């Protein structure tokens, strides 16, 4: 599929998936009114909140998930295609980065601010919290991509060129917004029609907001050490989600009603049978380890939930940085693919992530017993979410180590998120610095001259330099941030300059 066809497909998916929103979750496919352009008399939070939710879910669950899957080396590129070879080489262009940026701003953030205004006017504090939580969630993802984004001036519609704020400023503002919304709400307050919790009261939204606060503060703690006491207080409250926060239970196997990532990469409903994404040797070689004789010594029980086997019933991952376009041996059927279905959830934050953050907090406090308990709980939650048993087996293979807590948490979180939330995994490996890079580059693992895949040279639990790595990133480096999108640089005179060195310049929380 050529790039222009892919962009047309993305536009169709985005347009249709936003049409999932109406005034009733029981009849969300009965489209009588464009939810993004309601009449003045019909404008209310129950019309607008589902539309905003789907704008964020479609972006976060697809446009952010795909590149991050390559950057985290969960994915590599399939034989004979070129759509995502640049991602597999750790490259992101200003044009590419604009799709997610535009959709989050155009559909998600604009609608959410209108919802917040209406909710505040009508004292709908449950809805106000829901809209604030989603707004802060979306803004954090933009900071985690770009480092700096429009924030303090972003809501001024009379200003076509809002100032870009540093990520640390935005993070502090997001925490303030969440605290203010939480102070206004009661658990019994109603929430406008929504997909995430199907219209329940504010209780699960309070838990979601607390989990988001935990994630934000855990990310910034190295740059803002004083938040550690606030993390401790939040953990002591222990009011976090008891189930994964995910958009699930309403996707259908029909055009415009599928999980957005499935619609983009796996569905043939748009007339394309092209296959782009395959598992990476890094994640397969860590979750499925073999002896020098080829005997399996460890197989993670989540592997089957996260990836399908190839045509021979085996798990085989490709190497970043090439599409194997000259290969006669490694056709599409040779590789295994992500195990995606039309109704796969779009995960916002999982119980396992919360437990990993709590484990990390206790590790910083040198409370090894509590850190280990929550580390183990994170792996148990990950297995439960995947619908598999065998958490004890995973814990035995990757035990907690207080002396190297960032390494064991980083690698275990990288595995846990490989089938559910690739974007957060890319963020966390940049922050924790694990998995680290192994001794053999991709050019050594795949001998292109002899068309031979040398899987035995890969070191489990490591990353590797892609073949033909993007020269602005270079060897033994992960791409650290996205260039500012063309849609911003062409219209906003305050868009910061992005230099070649910035591809390797960490976000403030990763320095």
- Per-residue pLDDT tens digits for 215-270: 999 999 999 999 999 999 999 999 999 999 999 999 999 988 999 999 999 998 87
pLDDT at position 26 is 37
d(CA 102, CA 250): 25
pLDDT at position 261 is 95
Is the confidence at residue 40, as pLDDT, over 70? Answer: no
d(CA 74, CA 364): 28
- Nearest by Cα to 455 from 336, 305, 340, 301: 336
Tokens 């275990």 locate to 412
**62 DSSP assignment:** I
Q: Which residues pair with 247 in a beta bridge?
A: 346
The kind and range of the H/E element at 348 are strand 346-349
- Nearest by Cα to 23 from 52, 6, 2, 44: 44
d(CA 248, CA 257): 12
pLDDT at position 326 is 56
Residue 27 CB partners (closer than 8 Å, separation 6+) = none
**277 DSSP assignment:** E
Residue 77 three-state SS: strand
Tokens 């399908």 locate to 308
Are 235 and 218 in contact, with CB atoms under 8 Å apart? no
d(CA 435, CA 316): 20
pLDDT at position 22 is 37
d(CA 264, CA 342): 11
CA-derived radius of gyration, the chain: 22
Per-residue CA distances from 408 to 324, 394, 509 (Å): 33, 12, 19
Is the confidence at residue 443, as pLDDT, over 60? Answer: yes
Per-residue CA distances from 78 to 92, 309, 316 (Å): 18, 14, 12
Q: Where are the alpha helices (DSSP H) in 104-226?
A: 110-121, 125-146, 167-184, 203-220
Are 96 and 86 in contact, with CB atoms under 8 Å apart? yes
Residue 31 three-state SS: coil
pLDDT at position 42 is 62
Is the confidence at residue 391, as pLDDT, over 70? Answer: yes
Query: What are the structure tokens assigned to 439, written together?
Result: 């001794």
Per-residue CA distances from 287 to 165, 167, 282, 303, 432 (Å): 40, 34, 9, 6, 20
Question: pLDDT of 49-68, one tens digit each?
Answer: 999 999 999 999 999 999 99
Query: What are the structure tokens assigned to 248, written together?
Result: 């699930």
d(CA 352, CA 409): 11
Is the confidence at residue 131, as pLDDT, over 90? Answer: yes
d(CA 280, CA 277): 9
Question: pLDDT of 76-130, one tens digit each?
Answer: 988 767 889 999 999 999 999 999 999 898 888 989 999 999 999 999 999 999 9
Tell whether pTM > 0.85.
yes
Per-residue pLDDT band at 327 (split at 50, 70, 90):
low
The kind and range of the H/E element at 232 are helix 227-237
Mean pLDDT over 360-373 rounds to 98
Q: How many CA atoms lie within 13 A of 84 on its CB side?
A: 26
Query: What are the structure tokens assigned to 198, written together?
Result: 């199907």
Residue 321 CB partners (closer than 8 Å, separation 6+) = 85, 88, 89, 442, 465, 466, 467, 468, 469
Query: What are the structure tokens assigned to 310, written together?
Result: 């190839």
Q: How many CA atoms lie within 13 A of 390 on its CB side?
A: 16
Per-residue pLDDT band at 497 (split at 50, 70, 90):
very high
Q: Which residues pair with 299 in a beta bridge?
A: 288
pLDDT at position 422 is 98
Chain mean pLDDT for the chain: 90
Question: pLDDT of 1-33, one tens digit each?
Answer: 444 445 444 444 444 444 444 333 333 322 223
Residue 386 three-state SS: helix
């Amino acid at each position: 599929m050529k790039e222009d066809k892919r962009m047309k497909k993305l536009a169709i998916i985005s347009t249709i998936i936003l049409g999932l929103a109406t005034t009733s979750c029981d009849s969300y496919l009965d489209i009588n009114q464009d939810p993004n352009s309601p009449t003045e008399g019909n404008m209310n939070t129950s019309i607008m909140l589902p539309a905003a939710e789907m704008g964020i879910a479609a972006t976060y669950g697809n446009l952010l998930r795909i590149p991050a899957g390559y950057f985290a080396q969960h994915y590599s590129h399939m034989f004979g295609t070129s759509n995502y070879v640049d991602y597999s080489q750790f490259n992101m262009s200003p044009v590419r980065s604009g799709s997610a940026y535009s959709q989050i701003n155009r559909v998600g953030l604009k609608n959410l601010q209108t919802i917040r205004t209406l909710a505040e006017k009508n004292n709908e504090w449950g809805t106000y919290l829901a809209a604030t939580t989603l707004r802060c969630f979306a803004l954090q993802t933009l900071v985690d991509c770009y480092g700096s984004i429009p924030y303090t001036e972003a809501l001024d519609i009379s200003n076509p060129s809002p100032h870009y704020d540093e990520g640390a400023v935005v993070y502090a503002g997001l925490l303030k917004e969440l605290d203010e919304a939480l102070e206004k709400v009661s658990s019994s307050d109603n929430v406008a029609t929504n997909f995430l919790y199907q219209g329940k009261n504010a209780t699960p939204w309070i838990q979601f907001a607390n989990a988001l606060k935990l994630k934000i503060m855990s990310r910034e703690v190295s740059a803002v050490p004083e938040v550690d006491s606030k993390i401790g207080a939040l953990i002591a409250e222990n009011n976090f989600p008891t189930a994964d926060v995910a958009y699930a239970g309403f996707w259908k196997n029909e055009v415009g009603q599928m999980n957005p990532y499935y619609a983009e990469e796996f569905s043939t409903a748009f007339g394309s049978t092209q296959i782009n994404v395959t598992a990476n040797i890094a994640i397969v070689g860590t979750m499925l380890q073999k002896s020098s004789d080829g005997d399996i010594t460890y197989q993670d029980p989540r592997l089957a939930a996260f990836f399908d086997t190839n045509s021979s019933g085996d798990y085989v991952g490709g190497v970043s940085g090439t599409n194997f376009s000259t290969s006669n041996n490694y056709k599409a059927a040779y590789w295994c693919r992500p195990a995606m279905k039309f109704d796969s959830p779009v995960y916002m934050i999982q119980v396992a992530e919360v437990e990993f953050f709590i484990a990390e907090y206790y590790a910083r406090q040198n409370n090894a017993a509590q850190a280990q308990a929550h580390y183990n709980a994170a792996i148990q939650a990950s297995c439960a979410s995947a619908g598999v048993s065998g958490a004890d087996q995973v814990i035995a293979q990757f035990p907690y180590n207080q002396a190297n807590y960032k390494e064991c948490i980083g690698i275990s979180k990288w595995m846990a998120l490989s089938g559910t939330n690739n974007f957060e995994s890319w963020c966390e490996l940049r922050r924790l610095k694990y998995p680290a890079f192994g001794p053999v580059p991709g050019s050594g693992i795949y001998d292109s001259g002899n068309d031979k895949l040398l899987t035995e040279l890969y070191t489990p639990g490591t990353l590797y330099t892609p073949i033909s790595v993007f020269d602005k990133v270079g060897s033994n480096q992960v791409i650290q941030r996205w260039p500012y999108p063309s849609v911003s640089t062409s219209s906003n005179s305050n868009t910061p300059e992005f230099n070649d060195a910035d591809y390797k310049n960490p976000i403030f929380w990763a320095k």
